[in-house]
Amino acid sequence: MQNEPNPKQVETPDLNLDNFSHDQDNFILAAVKKFGLFIFEIIKVVLISLAIILPVRMFLVQPFYVEGASMEPNFYDKEYLIIDELSYRFHDPARGEVVVFRNPGNNKQYYIKRVIALPGETVEIINGKVSINGKELEETYIDNLSEQSFSKLTLGQDEYFVLGDNRPVSRDSRAFQALPKKLIIGRVWFRGWPVDRISTFNLPDYK
């Protein structure tokens, strides 16, 4: 009678641990390479973005938030503006342009005002009415005139006279006199917020 195989003697194929370990290593290595490429792509995008954005931010335009009511009704508190820093490298500020500048009394503080008088001009304010070289300036953008007067002032080279549009509450050249050009950061170019007031800005028409 043929003997039945002893279950304890049944041979089973060996488990190839060498192959399993090798495949696992390949999988981990591929995952690490993929993750490394992903990180590299992120770093590359960030560096390229910085290379584009930083020069623009430092030399061309910068954001600015309006604080206070000194420029109402044309600019309100918390409005988000883009300031053009490039234009004044090629030409001087023009009458009627709205500019952002460093406070002459505190260079860490920024103001937003409108250019009213230019270098070499004589400015005078009588009962709130502005005169340039003896001619009254028609300011159609003003809703709130002040009754304040200001004695004649002749501006020197690279000096400007700036006023807020909301004259009764504005601290401007009536307080700190002439504004040196070197303190001007740039002109207001674009309003990005709020959405219903998005706009660019043109010079007022002085008759």
Mean pLDDT, range 35-54, rounded to an integer: 68
Map out the domains of the chain as residue ranges: 23-61, 66-200
What residues contact 111, with CB distance under 8 A and at least 6 apart?
A: 70, 100, 101, 102, 103, 162, 171, 172
Give catalytic status of residue 113 as yes or no. Answer: yes
Q: Is the pLDDT of residue 64 over 80?
A: yes
Span 66-200 CATH architecture: Ribbon (2.10)
The SS3 of residue 159 is: strand
Q: Which one is catalytic: 34, 113, 146, 173? A: 113
Give catalytic status of residue 70 as yes or no. Answer: yes
pLDDT digits (tens, 9 = 90+) for 141-158: 998 888 899 999 999 999
Q: Which one is catalytic: 49, 70, 135, 170? A: 70
Mean pLDDT, range 49-64, rounded to an integer: 57
